Structure 1
Amino acid sequence: MLKIGCHLSTTKGFTNMGKEALEIGANTFQFFTRNPRGGKAKAIEEKDIQGLIKIINENNFAKILAHAPYTLNGCSADENTRRFAIEMMADDLKRMEYLPNNLYNFHPGSHVKQGVDVGISYIVDMLNEVLMPNQTTKVLLETMAGKGTEVGRNFEEIAEIINRVELKNHMGVCLDTCHIYDAGYDIVNDLDKVLEEFDKIIGLDRLYAIHLNDSKNPFKSHKDRHEKIGAGFIGIDAVKNIINHPKLKHLPFFLETPNELDGYAKEIDLLKSIYEE
C-alpha cells in the first residue's frame, strides 16, 4: 500500500487534519509544529489530539511528519537566533510526545558565511542539548538544495551531523526529491546510483521519509522551487520510479507541491494509479 500524504494546516486542529487526510485519499500527512514564519505554538488540546490518534489507529495511517518552522536556524551567526532555535526545538519535541512514535523534520539551517564546519558544529550542539534519551520521536534532517549558505546540501554534510550527535539512535533523514535534484543528485537518470551513494555515506536505514516534489528548475540549479507532480523537470516517469523503487516504496511520501486540497487529492489519485502493489 502506498503511504502518501500532503502538508495540511493546523488551523482547524489535529482531528480535522486527520479528517481532511481521509477526504483526499491520504493515509498520513505533514504539519507545521507552529507558525512557519514565527515561533508561537498553539496550546495542546488533549481531546483534539486523542481524536487524531483515534483516526490514525482506525485507518491504519503511516507515521505522520511534523515540520519545524522555517525560522528555526540552529547554525545562525547570531547567538540569540541559535538560542531561540534550541528552545523551539526542545519545546517541539516535548509536545511531540502527545503523538508518540512519529517523525519530526527540520531544515539544518544556514551558516550565514561562517563556513559549513562552524554551521555543522552549531547544529550538533543544538541536537545534543535537546534530544532526550526516552523520547519516542525520530528527528529527521532534511536534504537541501544548496542555495545560499544552506547546510545539508550534500549527503556528506548530513552524515557529519548525525555521526557527531550523541543520541544518534533518535536521528534520521527526510529526503526531498526537489532539493536533491536541484543539489545535483540525478534521480531522473540514475536513481540507483544516488541511492547507492546515500547508503554508502549515510545509510538507507537512516531514511525515514520522503518529500515528494517535482522541480520548477533544471538539474543542479540550487534553486529549491517545488512544482506539481509531473509538471517540472523531474517528471512523472522519474516519480513513478521513486515511489516503486524496492528501497523506497515502503516509506511514507509527503507532497509539498503548490496545491490546495483538491489539487493534492488529484495528485494522490495519480500516484496511487502508478504505484505497483
Structure 2
Amino acid sequence: MRVGAHVSISGSKVSSDGSTPPYDDLRNAVHRQVAFGGNCGQIFTHSPQVWQDPDIGDEAAEGFRAETAAKLDGPWVIHSSYLVNLCTPKEGLRQKSLDSMQKEVDAASRLGIDYVNVHLGAHTGAGVEQGLDNAVSVLDDLSVPDGVTVLVESDAGSGTKLGGDFEHLAYVLRESSKDLDVCVDTAHAFAAGYDLSTAEAVDSVVAEFDDVVGLDHLQCIHLNDSKHACGTNKDEHAHIGEGHIGVEGMRRIVTHPALEEVPFVLETPTEDGRGFAWNIERVRELAAE
C-alpha cells in the first residue's frame, strides 16, 4: 500500500557562527516521510503563499533522488503554489501562473518527481466554460518534460472555483493537447456533493468518476476526512475516520479494488495530539480490517 503525507522541506543547519538559520533542503522531506511511516508523499518546493522560484541546489537535488530511491516506494508529487489560477481571465495573473507552473514541472524533472498537482482556480466572473478554456490554454502553453505529468485536482467548489464537478476535470483533460491526469481530494469531493460516507456511496462515486473522467486518469488521491457535511463546499480537513466521511467511508476508499494501485497522500491536520504518523497508521489499520 502506498500511503504518505504532504511534508515540509524546511529545516535548519549549523552555520560557521554556530547559528541555525532556516533553509530548505529537499532531503528533509524524505527524512520526515520515513519518520511518519509513509512511503510516498507530496511537497511544496517553496512557500505556497508567495510568487517564488524553487531554489534547489545540485547537491540537494542529487541527495533527494538518492534518499528517495533508497528509502521510499514513491511517487512524490509537487503541489503548485496556492497563487496559481489557471482559470483567470486576467492576463497578468495568467502569465504569473504559467511561469510558476513551468518552474514546477522543470523542478519535478530535475528531482525525478513524477507529478505536479494544480487546482484549476477560479473564473472570477468569466463563466464556467470560459474559465475551463482559460485553464486549458495555460496548460497547453506549458513545456512539460518527459517523465512528468500535470495532475488537475478536484475542488470543493466554493464561489467561482472550478473543479468541484468531475465534468470540469473531464473537460480539461479532453480539450487539452497535453497528457494530463487527475488527483481527487476526498474532502474536496465530499464538500462538492459527492457522498463518500458509506461503502455503497463510495462505490457509486468511483463508478461515476470512471464514467465521466476514467479511472485510468486517477494517479493520486489526497486522502482527507472532512470537518463539514457533504455538499457544503467547505474545505476543512479532519483526521481519518473522525470527520463526516467517517470510518465506513474511509475504510471503503482504502480497500476499494479499483483504487488499490493509487497512492494516498494525506493532508490531515496536526491537532489533538495527533499528526501524520497517527493518520498514516490509521489508514493502514482500516485497510487491514
- Scaled to the shorter chain, the TM-score interval is over 0.9
Following TM superposition, where does structure 1 have runs of at least 4 consecutive aligned residues deviating by more than 4 angstroms? none
Matches within 5 A, 1:11-160: 11-12=10-11, 13-132=25-144, 134-160=145-171
Q: What is the one-letter code of the residue matched to 1:77? A: P
Give the conservation status (yes or no) of the 8 Å contact 2:53–2:103: no
* Matched position secondary structure for 1:98: helix
TM superposition shift of 1:35: 1.6
TM superposition shift of 1:65: 0.9
Matches within 5 A, 1:187-202: 187-189=196-198, 190-202=201-213
Within the alignment, does 1:174 sit opposite 2:159 as a pair?
no
Q: CA RMSD in A?
A: 1.6
Give the conservation status (yes or no) of the 8 Å contact 1:34–1:40: yes
Query: Residue 244 of structure 1 corresponds to which residue in structure 2?
Result: 255
Separation (CA, whole Å) in 2 of partners of 1:89 and 1:74: 10
Separation (CA, whole Å) in 2 of partners of 1:200 and 1:237: 24
Separation (CA, whole Å) in 2 of partners of 1:120 and 1:68: 18
Query: Residue 218 of structure 2 corresponds to which residue in structure 1?
Result: 207
TM-score by length of 2: 0.90
Give the conservation status (yes or no) of the 8 Å contact 1:24–1:262: no
How many pairs does the alignment contain?
273
* Matched position secondary structure for 1:247: helix
* Matched position secondary structure for 2:111: coil
Bigger shift: residues 225-234 or 138-147: 225-234
Separation (CA, whole Å) in 1 of partners of 2:67 and 2:112: 14
Within the alignment, does 1:183 sit opposite 2:195 as a pair?
no
Query: Residue 264 of structure 2 corresponds to which residue in structure 1?
Result: 253
Bigger shift: residues 43-52 or 110-119: 43-52
Within the alignment, does 1:9 sit opposite 2:8 as a pair?
yes
Query: Residue 18 of structure 2 corresponds to which residue in structure 1?
Result: none
Separation (CA, whole Å) in 2 of partners of 1:162 and 1:42: 27
Q: What is the one-letter code of the residue matched to 2:263? A: P
The verdict on how the C-alpha distance between 1:89 and 1:42 changes in structure 2, with shifts beyond 3 A counting, is closer
Any gaps of 5 or more consecutive residues in structure 2? Answer: 12-24
The verdict on how the C-alpha distance between 1:166 and 1:42 changes in structure 2, with shifts beyond 3 A counting, is closer
Percent identity between the two aligned chains = 32
Any gaps of 5 or more consecutive residues in structure 1? Answer: none
Computing the radius of gyration from Cα coordinates, the structure with the larger value is: 2
TM superposition shift of 1:100: 2.5
Q: What is the one-letter code of the residue matched to 2:8? A: S
Separation (CA, whole Å) in 1 of partners of 2:5 and 2:98: 27
TM-score by length of 1: 0.94
Query: Residue 272 of structure 1 corresponds to which residue in structure 2?
Result: 284
